[in-house]
């Protein structure tokens, strides 16, 4: 009885290549930095309002970084590294 060993002879291939993972980590870094910049700005006393919560960093910069990171993630998923330019 001879078994067909096609699985052992063929090399397993990942869905993503090194270039995809590189862009995924870059996108993840953008998202992480965005959430870190968005955090904080609260007040220790709930009866005292802290206007720092509406700073440029929390309202404009941090959400923009998160959206850029999500865009990079989508690009990394759709990127075909085998395609020759």
The pTM of this model reads 0.77
Read off the pLDDT band of 50 (50, 70, 90). confident
Task: Using the predicted structure, report yes or no on whether residue 83 has a pLDDT greater than 90.
Answer: no
Residues 3-49 pLDDT 10s: 555 555 567 787 889 999 999 999 999 999 999 999 987 777 888 88
Instruction: Give the pLDDT score at 85.
Output: 62
Structural domain range at position 33 = 27-85
Residue 20 lies in a domain: no
Tally the domains of the chain. Answer: 1
Residue 19 lies in a domain: no
In a 13 Å sphere around the CA of 66, the CA atoms on its Cβ side amount to 13
Residue 78 lies in a domain: yes
Residue 14 lies in a domain: no
Residue in 44, 41, 64, 65 with CA at minimum distance from that of residue 54: 41
Instruction: Give the pLDDT score at 10.
Output: 66
Residue 79 lies in a domain: yes
Residue 40 lies in a domain: yes
Residue 3 lies in a domain: no
């Amino acid at each position: 009885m001879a078994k067909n060993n096609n699985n052992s002879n063929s090399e397993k291939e990942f869905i993503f290549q090194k270039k995809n993972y590189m862009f995924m980590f870059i996108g993840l870094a953008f998202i992480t930095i965005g959430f870190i910049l968005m955090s904080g700005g609260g007040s220790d006393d709930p009866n005292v309002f802290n206007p720092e919560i509406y700073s440029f960093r929390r309202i404009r910069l941090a959400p923009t970084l998160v959206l850029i990171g999500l865009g990079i993630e989508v690009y990394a998923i759709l990127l075909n590294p085998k395609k020759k330019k």
